[in-house]
Chains A and B, each alone.
Chain A
Amino acid sequence: MLLTISTDHRPAADLGYLLHKHPDKFQSFDLSFGTAHVFYPEVGDHRCAACLLLDVDAVGLVRGRNPDQDFLLAQYVNDRPYVASSFLSVAIAQVFGSALQGRCTTRPELVGTPIPLVARLDVLPVRGGEAFLRAVFEPLGYEVEAVRHPLDERFPEWGEGPYFSVTVRHTVPLSTLLSHLYVLVPVFDARKHYFVGEDEVGKLLAKGEGWLASHPAKDEIVRRYLGNRPSLYRMALGRLVDEGDPLGDESPVQERAEESLEKPISLNDQRLGSVLAAVRASGARRVLDLGCGEGKLVREFLKDRQFDEIVGLDVSVRSLEAAARRLKLERLPDAQANRVKLIHGSLMYRDKRLEGFDAAAVVEVVEHLDPPRLAAFERVLFECARPRTIVLTTPNREYNVTWETLPAGKFRHPDHRFEWSRPEFQTWATGLAARFGYAVRFLPVGPEHPEYGPPTQMAIFDRNA
């Protein structure tokens, strides 16, 4: 909402020339999201302070012209009017454009001169806390002072909020300070970006020239600046490689908690491999992938001519759309496309479309079901769909202790409703097999720990003749 830039450079009033804004005026500028005001609360020989005040029109944001706004921006109850965000960057570029670009006709010699500058932001939302704040500013030579505000002092149990009053100090040319702020302010809460398009990449590269490529936190800065869009992120990172030190392979996009735990042991690949082996071994030709998600296993099935008919089912339409994109279903030749079908459905409802298959894979699904609803799942799969072979995997809770980053008692994924130990899983599966006329055997997936077993457990059910 408020950026205060001050200096004790002498004469301090030079700040006015550098900013191209007269210290004795109150100037207002219309911007797309509201109004920006520039004024000087303090002008003296020893000290001069200039304020850039953003008056964001919260109602206008909701009722505004851009219908594709982020959902959170579309709330009237919105922190945007009070924080330093990408709006501030826009305002810096538009109101202090010359200063940002380092142009000053009246005092050209000042432009490149480092002067002692202090920038204060009221208030900056920081995801990642003070540590991240320092990790971003300190490598650039800033001295950082931050005061964190509570969410609500009436309810201390709610904890601290994400908002800081931040002061950074450094002796740099003004244009450098403004460039840093322009790039870095939106980075602290990448959540609510306004426009993230390809031209943003260009802007980032232009304003980050000379310092971003060597910044130790550049990955994080780039990713957040671009609002976590992986493709844009890769594009930008690729271009950065040309400028700074060589980067390795594409770094992965922000991973979900479970994936980041499992990545080091490439559990996902091992799991898909094991499931594929078990389904292949059954001799199945018509297969189901229940809870197919974005279609990784479907893609494996598709590569193997053993499988004539492949049906992936998921309860999330978004996942199915992603799966269709990843599998490029629309562009597959007919002979391929006719083998695969993605259907929207739920394992809580009996579904005729699932009947008559040779095998079904149920990979990392049961732990997403509420325990009282498991009974419905069991009947839908084992009694109604009743494939000849069922390959089912689920996490082995015992293994969790081997992950130091996973707090004790926490599940691997926030949507997990439970995670089973090996005895719990085997008791469940054995009972199920007996009840519905299947034989069951168990196999480990992933590196086995001598005490805690494998990270993933797999059961293979075969229907009795």
Chain B
Amino acid sequence: MRISIPKLSLVVLIGPSGSGKSTFARTHFLPTEVLSSDACRGMVADDPNDQAATNDAFDVLHFVAAKRLALGRLTAIDATNVQPEARAPLVALARKYHCLPVAVVLNLPEDVCQERNRGRADRAFGPHVVRNQRSQLRRSLKGLKREGFRHIFVLDSVEAIEAAVIERVPLWNDRTHEAGPFDIIGDVHGCADELEQLLERLGYGKVAATGHEPGWSNVGYAHPEGRKAVFVGDLVDRGPRVLDVLSIVRNMVTLGSALCVPGNHDMKLLKKLNGRDVQITHGLAETLAEIDALPADVRPAFTKSLAGFLDGLVSHYVLDGGKLVVAHAGLKAEMQGRGSGKVRDFALYGETTGETDEFGLPVRHNWAAEYRGAATVVYGHTPVPEPDWLNRTVNIDTGCVFGGKLTALRWPEREFVSVPAARTYCEPARPFLPEAAQAPPLTAQQVYDDLLDAEDVLGKRIVTTRLRGSVTVRAAHATAALEVMSRFAADPRWLIYLPPTMSPSETTAEPGLLEHPAEAFAYYRSQGAPQVICEEKHMGSRAVVTVCRDERAAGERFGVTGGEIGIVTTRTGRRFFNDADRERQFLDRVRAAVTAADLWTSLGTTWVCLDCELMPWSAKAQELLKAQYAAVGSAGRAALPRVVASLASAGARLRDGDKEKLEAVAARMERREQGVQKFVDAYRQYCWPVNSLTDLKLAPFHLLASEGKVHTDKAHLWHLDTLADVCRADPDLLVATAHKVVDVTDPAAVAEGIAWWTELTGRGGEGMVVKPLDFLLRGKRGLAQPAVKCRGREYLRIIYGPDYTADENLSRLRSRGLAHKRSLALGEFALGVEGLERFVRREPLRRVHECVFGVLALESEPVDPRL
């Protein structure tokens, strides 16, 4: 017997003990597909035959079955299942997960079962057990269909069981192998004029269908490049040329140039054609009038043929490798690619809340707002003025029959093509076109994005990034990030990027130093990069500046309506400026500079996002400076001279060994006195009072993103040159970043690079950042560090203390592990870029926020803060 079952089904084996269920299951299913009650008994009670553990064992079995079905995995249940009450929860499970329950009955003669059990030591129950099971099975056979099994296969003999072949067939809706390209067309409702125009606009040409049938026209369309139209349903009712529309669509489906899913109107018509009693409302009358106008001799054959066509429509399609789903009223993620009455109902009607609105129409539950699926869902059903993306769903019913337009979505191009309605064919019960004046300033996605959901950030999260695959955010770190994000961070709509942490170069063995450019150069050489770019490292505070051309652009692109034009945020997503006026003045200056450099035109954008350093350090780190750096300097400079003087006095008194001991300590204290002075000199470099705007200096070094583009495909020189143009426009506020390209395979060039660093740090500079020439470098083991910092000897006093250069200190400080820091740096870099890419692709805010949140969460990982 050939047993055809849907690819995703719940196979319930039914048969008494000894009927060979386990053997059958082993033969036809993967071991992981089989859930056996005996195995579950073993799992909970260490004994597969412990009948006392039956209830607990079935709890486990049902739980695992539910998980498997939720994940779309075929599951076979190996248990006797001879009683209806044993089968009922399984049927319910299958329903819950919208898959089909299949019964496979192993109905062997009693003596065969008894004989098999006699041969097994663990089946020492009496013969009455099998007898009972057999009789329960026999009584069950008739009722299986009524219980809800959609496919029932009864195998009556050992031979039949041995000969059985199981064939797994895909569901009708499974068209994942079809990759298109597609043109998905919204609700037509008998608007054949507009449909013809639209098809032509999309490049389809008229093709005559073969085989004329009475009542049908032979007009069909096909695309010369093999594109395929996909109709979202509601072909009929309300409009002027219903039968022409039906003909075109049916002919295209027959020609293979279109797919069509049914709409609720189409199904209601089908009911009517099948002789059921339906209300002649909502435009059905127009369809019936057209049918009635057909010649009487044609009509019966036509209606039969039409009913056949409509009946053959599949509730929804899953296309293009699972990336695209088309359903009339949309479809939740857990229903896609599955078949059940509930799935069909959802696809046809959507979900309603049970309420009605002021026009007496049912209020629809906004399933799209909760949609979290990976597939894009294209649907129609409810007319909207403009197609509007929300969470990877889009409604393309633009109300053609109500005087709107007929819209197609080109896939995978994601472009809309529309044809306006020639006229209003039908007055809608609820006005769907907004007053021009009321046109919403925000898209549906932006309105929805006003709020983010805790579920999208809490707990352990695995974020998929283009650059580095999955990045894991641990629950504990998400917890810390939630607090910081909630209490301190700026409006998430502005937060499209947080900068990653940066690792220092490997620790050097050069005397008196912890870091030196040679290690940074060697690192990139080892990653296969012949050239690097060294950039001056400014010592201020990291700042991300996002600025828009105007308030309108800020509204359109970021969904903010408060009249802001941008934001300056810190590396943890806080607003840099507490004073809104100061921030606005600052942003106005940056915007003016961007305008002067004409980036709006050259990048074709209305906004830019810049990665910068904002100086002086004291502007943001005032409290830290006072509490820690200045304090240490003050204490050291007050105490050490006194120490040195006291030692000198005592030194004059002591002699021999004591004098020698004292002198060693005195020399050490004198070095420390110099050390603390150098320490104070070091931090002073980065402090100056800020009384006016131009006391601030902004040094942009990455032009991260602009409309449609994340500029990780450009080399660093492009970033620096482009930004240098911007800086030239406002030299009082903006500072271009000095840089130098070094060929790390040329010792002379390396020496020059080192000299450049020595000179830079000798002048009190913090140091330099070494990056590969290209923004992204793939090394031997994947993504290489995007940048490595190499800090100066004096600067590092701020990090490692005034006396760090003393030999006894350096020798201990040199043992520092970089591995964790580097892995964090890469994870955060990948997340940062991913967030920008998602923003640029106009993904929902939660998808951008997930990345930004992830960077913040990784930043809360404990790692040596001095690295």
Contacts and interface: CB of A to CB of B under 8 A. Distances in A.
Interface of A: 1-2, 4, 24-26, 28, 37, 39-43, 51, 53, 55, 58-60, 63, 75-79, 81-83, 122-123, 125, 149-152, 154-155, 157-159, 161-163, 165, 315-317, 344-353, 368, 372-373, 375-376, 379-380, 384, 415
Contacts of B456: 349
Given A161-B631, A317-B483, A58 B662 contact: no
B630 A155 contact: yes
A4 B625 CA distance: 30
Given A28-B661, A149-B638, A75 B628 contact: yes
Nearest to A125: B635
B484 to A, nearest CB: 9
Contacts of B450: 375-376, 379
B487 A368 contact: yes
Given A53-B643, A149-B637, A315-B487, 10 more contacts: A63-B812, A123-B639, A151-B634, A152-B630, A154-B687, A159-B626, A346-B486, A351-B453, A352-B453, A379-B450
Given A26-B661, A59-B804, A349 B457 contact: yes
A379 B452 CA distance: 11
Among B482, B634, B649, find the residue whose CB has the most chain A CB atoms closer than 10 A. Answer: B634
Nearest to A59: B809
A59 B812 contact: yes
B634 A150 contact: yes
B100 interface: no
B631 A344 contact: no
A43 B479 contact: no
Contacts of A75: 628
Which 4 residue pairs spanning A and B have beta carbons closest together? Answer: A41-B649, A76-B801, A346-B486, A82-B635
11 contacts: A26-B658, A41-B646, A41-B653, A53-B647, A75-B628, A123-B638, A149-B637, A154-B684, A315-B483, A349-B457, A351-B453
Interface in B176-234: none
Nearest to A75: B628
Contacts of B621: none
A183 to B, nearest CB: 22
A65 to B, nearest CB: 14
B813 interface: yes
Interface in B26-55: none
A374 to B, nearest CB: 11
A156 B665 CA distance: 34
A40 B638 contact: no
Nearest to A346: B486
Given A151-B631, A375-B450, A24 B658 contact: yes
Nearest to B815: A63
B451 A51 contact: no
A76 B514 CA distance: 14
B491 A373 contact: yes
A170 B801 CA distance: 37
Contacts of B452: 348-350, 376
Given A163-B638, A317-B483, A348-B485, A2 B812 contact: no
Interface string B311-333: 00000000000000000000000
B631 A79 contact: yes
A158 B630 contact: yes
B565 to A, nearest CB: 14
A40 B650 contact: yes
Q: From DSSP, what is the main secondary structure of chain B's interface residues?
A: helix
Interface in B813-854: 813
Contacts of B277: none
A77 B679 CA distance: 10
B626 A345 contact: no
Nearest to A82: B635
Contact of B454 (A2, A51, A163, A346): A346
B634 A379 contact: no
Contact of A152 (B633, B665, B801): B633
A395 to B, nearest CB: 18
Interface string B651-679: 00110001101100100100010001001
Contact of B626 (A76, A151, A154): A151
A351 B634 contact: no
Contact of A348 (B486, B650, B802): B486
Contacts of B638: 82, 122-123, 149, 163, 165
A78 B632 contact: yes
A349 B640 contact: no
B653 A43 contact: yes
Nearest to B652: A41
Contacts of A1: 639-640, 643
A350 B632 contact: no
A349 B649 contact: no
Interface residues of B, number: 67
A76 B451 contact: no
B453 A349 contact: yes
B689 interface: yes
Among B646, B650, B802, find the residue whose CB has the most chain A CB atoms closer than 10 A. Answer: B650
Given A158-B630, A161-B635, A346-B454, A76 B658 contact: no
A372 B562 contact: yes
Contacts of B458: 344-345
B455 interface: yes
A161 B633 CA distance: 10
A375 B490 CA distance: 13
B861 interface: no
Contacts of B396: none
Nearest to A319: B483
Contacts of B654: 24-26, 39
B803 interface: yes
A123 B635 contact: yes
Contacts of B632: 77-79, 82
A122 B649 CA distance: 16
A351 B813 CA distance: 47
B479 to A, nearest CB: 5
Nearest to B562: A372
B629 interface: yes
Given A26-B662, A53-B643, A161 B634 contact: yes
A122 B813 contact: no
A82 B801 CA distance: 12
A151 B635 CA distance: 8
A232 B642 CA distance: 37
B760 interface: no
Given A151-B631, A152-B680, A344-B482, A82 B454 contact: no
A420 B764 CA distance: 47
Contacts of A376: 450-452
Contact of B630 (A81, A151, A415): A151
Among B487, B490, B812, find the residue whose CB has the most chain A CB atoms closer than 10 A. Answer: B487
Given A82-B639, A158-B626, A376-B451, A152 B650 contact: no
A382 to B, nearest CB: 12
B454 A77 contact: no
B799 interface: yes
B837 to A, nearest CB: 23
A316 B800 contact: no
B155 interface: no
Nearest to A22: B658
A53 B647 CA distance: 9
A373 B490 CA distance: 8
B866 interface: yes
B866 A122 contact: no
A342 to B, nearest CB: 13
A201 B633 CA distance: 33
B798 interface: yes
A20 to B, nearest CB: 17
Nearest to A372: B491
